[in-house]
Homo-oligomer: A and B are copies of this chain.
């Protein structure tokens, strides 16, 4: 599980570097799909990752307001702050947690059970999905997107 998280963190950093070369107004420009803008998509990815892992641990997950994070620097600072919690959880992940039940109480009173393994994979897939959206926006801007390759990032040392 940790391998996929480390992949996402590497790719996210590469996208931040890519963003730093864009005119800042492009980061906030409204676009079709995703979370509506490049910067808001990063904010959303960071928020979803942290919030789900907080929920699993029964910890508070107060939603942040994107209005306070309107620059790349502010989003990266938030990411660095939340990452401390995220990384602790990911490093402590064990296969025995896969089937642990999470009780998902919906606002309509409806209750669903989900397995921790599903929620952790949701967090992983969520980010990859949104980075795919960014890659289309990059091409629309006439820019080369960040590679989504897992291979070549030295994530696992082969025997």
From B99, B153, B158, give the contact of A100 (CB < 8 A): B158
Query: How many chain A residues touch B (Cβ–Cβ < 8 Å)?
Result: 48
Can you list 22 A-B pairs, Cβ within 8 angstroms, ordered by A? A3-B118, A7-B121, A32-B139, A33-B135, A34-B135, A101-B158, A112-B152, A114-B158, A115-B155, A115-B157, A115-B158, A116-B158, A117-B156, A118-B155, A121-B155, A125-B128, A126-B148, A128-B128, A129-B129, A129-B132, A133-B133, A133-B136
Question: Could you tell me the distance between the alpha carbons of A42 and B145 in the complex, rounded to whole angstroms?
Answer: 20
Count the copies: 2
User: CB-defined interface of A104-141 with B at 8 Å, one 1/0 digit per residue?
Assistant: 10000000111111110110011011111101111110
Query: Of all chain B residues, which has the CB nearest A150?
Result: B122
Question: Could you tell me the distance between the alpha carbons of A145 and B98 in the complex, rounded to whole angstroms?
Answer: 28
- Nearest 3 pairs between A and B by C-beta? A132-B132, A33-B136, A122-B150
The verdict on A151 contacting chain B, using a C-beta distance below 8 Å, is yes
B33 touches A139 (CB 8 A): yes
A101 touches B159 (CB 8 A): yes
CB distance from A151 to the nearest CB of B (A): 5
From B3, B33, B126, give the contact of A140 (CB < 8 A): B33
Query: Apart from A126-B150, A129-B135, what 11 extra A-B contacts exist at CB < 8 Å?
Result: A7-B125, A33-B135, A33-B138, A100-B159, A101-B158, A112-B152, A116-B158, A118-B153, A118-B155, A118-B158, A122-B150
A98, A100, A117, A132: most-surrounded residue (chain B CB, <10 A): A132
